[in-house]
Structure 1
Amino acid sequence: MTDHKDEIAANLAGVEERIATACAAAGRARDEVTLVVVTKTYPASDVRFLSELGVRHVAENRDQDAAPKAAECADLPLTWHFVGQLQTNKVRSVVGYAGFVHSVDRSRLVTALSREAVRAGREVGCLIQVAFDAGASGRGERGGVAPAGVAELADLLAGAEGLRPAGLMTVAPLTGEYAGREQAVFERLMDLSTGLRRTHPTANMVSAGMSADLEQAVAAGATHVRVGSAVLGVRPRLG
């Protein structure tokens, strides 16, 4: 293996150990947590190598990078997750490869996703992005809907052909009352998830935690952690 591949393999093993340790500390089974490797800015060759190492879930946040990468890796046993803010003009492309969209935060996006899922003959799992820094606009600095808007969006998803409400996602906010309080954010997300599952039992995914805070997310009960740099290294600068 090249030095780069050796580094990825070692990093992945380290992240797997972190997840296993966090699960043990929380009294959870390791298989309760799915690792989603965020491959943004990295080439399809790295995705292929991750697949060889046993990774089955990968994520992207920009369609212009994800679409060609997903096409190049179409022969691999991978589930693609779209985790970035999604504009409606990119929905047709994203629906072509993504099994899950983690960033649903407005009704217009639900309508667009449903239309394209039906057109493509696919079912897309949709996670509602919750913004704990949402202000008067009801939206967060990095996308997402305020907690009070979750139930309405979930009902829309449940009634939208080609879609299913799959759960909730959040990114720990940089501002507001929850800034620097990752554990509290993730625990609040779990509270919302418990309420959501009473009306939408299939919405059982909780996507929370990244390279720096995956332990807090696992402790709170997250089912999916989104890890990029801890596996693939420091990201190249985007020109």
Structure 2
Amino acid sequence: MTSRYEEIASNLAIVQDKIVAAAKSAQRGSDEITLIAVTKTFPISDVHILASLNVHHYGENRDGDAAPKASAVPGTWHFQGQIQSNKLKSIASWANVIHSLDELRHIQALDKVAAHRIGVFLQVSLDGAQGRGGAQPSDLSELADAVVGSAHLDLMGLMAVAPLDVSSDQAFEKLALIYSDFKASYPAAKYLSAGMSNDFESAIIHGATHIRVGSSILGSRPSPQ
């Protein structure tokens, strides 16, 4: 029977090979890509395995699950879930990077409760639909200015989730255009967070620097307790 270590190591190697191939096809170096292993609902033991395999960026979307993992395993911890105002103080205590900021009030509140510097991505909606989060492109400047003017937050770039009803290539091509305009005004925002297990190769081809991959590495997600 394959051990959990062997399972994760094998899956990780496949993902890493795909990252190299996608970067090469886009004439980029694979070292430009930060792989975030999405560990939500998986046990701390899996995070320890990832650490032993030299993966040190971990993604979570539930504060209650993430806090004990972040205290147990050193690394760069990314929060990428929907933000609730009453959870911000706790999230700020363990998260090094937050990917899902899309409201001015949350930026202002986060800056007040941050105990350390936090890198932030502004989440942009690619279709205007409610439910998956994201600000309208026309609202990004106001949000970015709030981050730039804050005391504890660093503007890293933009994040997006591809809509379900269009191809990932179409979605990320649109994101690349939005990001190009955004970066012209905010040149220090050097990063683009896009792509998950089913579409990270397309995201890399369209300029993603941070990809958020869970099931392709860790397998089928266990049901939350």
- Any gaps of 5 or more consecutive residues in structure 1? none
The within-5 A match list for 1:1-239 is: 3-73=3-73, 76=74, 78-117=75-114, 120=115, 122-135=116-129, 140-174=130-164, 179-239=165-225
C-alpha contact (below 8 Å) 1:133/1:141 kept by paired residues: no
Q: How many residues align?
A: 225
For the aligned residue pairs, the C-alpha RMSD in angstroms reads: 1.4
Please give the alpha-carbon distance, in whole angstroms, between the structure 2 residues aligned to 1:128 and 1:188: 16
- Any gaps of 5 or more consecutive residues in structure 2? none
The alpha carbon displacement at 1:103 in A equals 0.2
What letter matches 2:146 in structure 1? L
Please give the alpha-carbon distance, in whole angstroms, between the structure 1 residues aligned to 2:204 and 2:86: 34
Q: Secondary structure at the match of 2:42?
A: coil
What letter matches 2:199 in structure 1? D
Please give the alpha-carbon distance, in whole angstroms, between the structure 1 residues aligned to 2:48 and 2:2: 14
Please give the alpha-carbon distance, in whole angstroms, between the structure 1 residues aligned to 2:175 and 2:140: 11
CA deviation vs aligned residue, 1:195-237 (integer Å, no higher than 9, x gap) = 2222222211100011011111011010011000000000012
The alpha carbon displacement at 1:106 in A equals 0.3
The alpha carbon displacement at 1:80 in A equals 0.4
The alpha carbon displacement at 1:101 in A equals 0.3
Q: TM-score, normalised by structure 1?
A: 0.91
Taking every aligned residue pair, what percent have the same amino acid on both sides? Answer: 46
Please give the alpha-carbon distance, in whole angstroms, between the structure 1 residues aligned to 2:37 and 2:196: 10
C-alpha contact (below 8 Å) 1:193/1:204 kept by paired residues: no
Please give the alpha-carbon distance, in whole angstroms, between the structure 1 residues aligned to 2:24 and 2:127: 31
Q: Secondary structure at the match of 1:185?
A: helix
Please give the alpha-carbon distance, in whole angstroms, between the structure 1 residues aligned to 2:174 and 2:145: 20
Q: Secondary structure at the match of 1:96?
A: helix
